[in-house]
Structures are given as structure tokens and as C-alpha cells.
């Protein structure tokens, strides 16, 4: 295997963005895994798709990054393969202040900014161009979508999904597994598991 070689689980759009982040950070992608059998033996983003979960399971001590964006599937696979070294990757153009902690398996994409004393958990996604200001806490498996702005001292619970382009004012807590709809402006705490949409964000009528 080539130096700094990494596998990506998920030959998807998200997987491509992960590949781009890895390459920008000086790694070599040596192949993809995906449960879609149609992809097996084909090339994806210039690299072979080597098989699915059962093929991944027989690799000896692989170094890998999760390339699936869907929170539920992502978590299921990462928990099944908890002994795999899930790498954390920061795109070369992201700015992560030195006084930030980033958990294993987390990916931080192009143009994202994470400011001092924020703590980003394990297996999170800080997506393209998102900003996380000072003293935020982002729980394990949370997804901060492209273009989101978290003001200072925001807490995002484990597994929460903060939708594309949303804004969260300072000091707010978004509960575990809550969902913030695309483009929302969150001005108050969001309870665990609740979906909010709009400006100011309110529980979705379908809740
Ligand atoms: C909030 C969200 C999860 C709701 O999804 P859903 O439960 O499938 O909701 P539906 O599409 O069935 O819409 C239900 C209602 O909520 C409204 N709604 C949905 N998302 C909304 C949003 N972001 N802002 C305002 N209203 C929204 C719909 O217009 C609809 O209203 P109606 O009943 O008057 O027609 C989803 O719309 C969303 O915003 N997801 C974020 C997507 C994202 O960030 N993608 C980036 C991936 S990297």
C-alpha cells in the first residue's frame, strides 16, 4: 500500500468530497468500499471500488475515512467497525485554530473555519464553508452542513443535523439528534430530536 494511503467507505458524492479533502491534505486514496454491488470492480473518482462491508471487514488494520453523509448509516458502519482507525481529515484550505480539539473520524471540508476553544467530537462533519465560532461544542456524529454559521458558545448535541445555510445565534443549545432545516435562523434552544425550520426557527408543522 502506498504511503499515507487511506480507504474511503462510501462511493458517493460525499465520498468524492472526502477524497478531495484527503488529497489536499497529502494523503493517497487507495480505494473505495460501498455496499452497492453495482459499483464493485468499477472505478469511482479514479480509484477502484473494492467491495462492501464484508470485504472491508477482512482488511488488516485499515486506515479509513467515512464517505457516507447520511447520519444513521454512517453511525451504523462506524460502530460496526469500531476497531478501524477512522482518520480525522482537515482540508488544506480550512482554518482550524490550534486551540480547537477535533475527535477521531471527523472531517472538516474546504473553506470551513473553526475558532478557538471549540471542541468538535468524534465522527462529525464540518461541511464546505461552514463556520464554527469560539467556544462551541459539537457532539459526536453531528453534521454541520455547508455554509452553516454557528456563533460563539453554541452547543450542538450528538447526532444533530444542522441544515445547509442555517444560522445559529450565540449561546444556543441544539439537542442531540435534532434537525435544523435548510436556511433556518435558530434563536432559541432546540429540544432533543426536534426538527425546526424557518426564521426564527420553530418546530416543523409536520413534527
Ligand atoms: C427540514 C427538513 C429535514 C424537513 O424534511 P421533511 O420532513 O422531508 O419535510 P418535507 O419536505 O416533507 O416538508 C414538510 C413541510 O415543511 C416545509 N419545509 C421543509 N423544509 C423546510 C425548510 N428548510 N424551511 C422551511 N420550511 C421547510 C415544507 O415546505 C413543507 O411545508 P408544507 O407542508 O406547507 O408544504 C428538510 O426540508 C431540510 O431542510 N433538510 C436539510 C437539507 C440539507 O441541509 N441538506 C444538505 C446536505 S449536505
What CA–CA distance (Å, rounded) separates 138 from 154? 8
Q: Which atom of ligand 1 is nearest to the CA of 145?
A: 48
What CA–CA distance (Å, rounded) separates 200 from 2? 50
What is the model's pLDDT at position 64? 96
What is the model's pLDDT at position 4? 78
Q: What is the mean pLDDT of each run of 10 residues along the chain (207 residues)?
A: 82 97 96 98 97 96 94 93 94 98 97 98 98 98 98 98 98 98 98 98 83
What is the model's pLDDT at position 206? 64
What is the model's pLDDT at position 207? 60
Q: Model pTM?
A: 0.96
What is the model's pLDDT at position 168? 99
Sheet holding 5-9, edge to edge: 28-33, 5-9, 63-66, 85-86
**Ligand 1 pocket: which residues have CB below 6 Å?**
69, 127, 145-146, 163-164, 179, 181-183, 195, 197-198, 204-206
Q: Mind listing the pLDDT tens digit for each residue in 9-30? A: 999 999 999 999 999 999 999 9
User: Radius of gyration of the chain from Cα atoms?
Assistant: 17
Cβ pair 186, 168 in contact under 8 A:
yes
- Domains of the chain by range and CATH? 5-86 (3.40.50.20), 97-207 (2.160.10.10)
Amino acid at each position: 500500500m502506498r504511503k499515507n494511503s487511506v480507504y474511503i467507505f462510501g462511493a458517493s458524492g460525499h465520498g468524492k468530497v472526502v477524497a478531495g479533502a484527503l488529497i489536499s491534505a497529502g494523503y493517497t486514496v487507495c480505494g473505495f468500499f460501498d455496499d452497492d454491488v453495482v459499483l464493485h470492480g468499477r472505478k469511482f473518482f479514479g480509484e477502484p471500488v473494492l467491495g462492501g462491508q464484508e470485504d472491508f471487514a477482512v482488511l488488516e488494520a485499515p486506515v479509513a475515512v467515512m464517505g457516507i453523509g447520511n447520519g444513521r448509516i454512517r453511525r451504523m458502519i462506524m460502530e460496526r467497525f469500531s476497531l478501524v482507525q477512522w482518520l480525522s481529515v482537515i482540508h488544506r484550505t480550512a482554518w482550524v485554530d490550534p486551540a480547537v480539539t477535533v475527535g477521531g473520524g471527523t472531517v472538516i471540508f474546504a473553506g470551513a473555519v473553526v475558532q478557538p476553544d471549540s471542541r468538535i467530537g468524534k465522527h462529525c462533519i464540518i461541511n464546505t464553508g461552514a463556520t464554527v465560532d469560539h467556544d462551541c461544542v459539537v457532539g459526536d456524529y453531528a453534521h454541520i452542513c455547508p455554509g452553516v454559521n454557528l456563533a460563539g458558545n453554541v452547543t450542538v448535541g450528538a447526532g444533530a443535523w444542522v441544515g445547509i445555510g442555517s444560522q445559529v445565534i450565540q449561546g444556543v443549545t441544539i439537542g442531540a439528534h435534532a434537525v435544523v432545516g435548510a436556511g433556518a435562523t435558530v434563536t432559541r434552544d432546540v429540544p432533543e430530536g426536534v426538527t425546526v425550520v424557518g426564521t426564527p426557527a420553530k418546530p416543523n408543522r409536520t413534527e
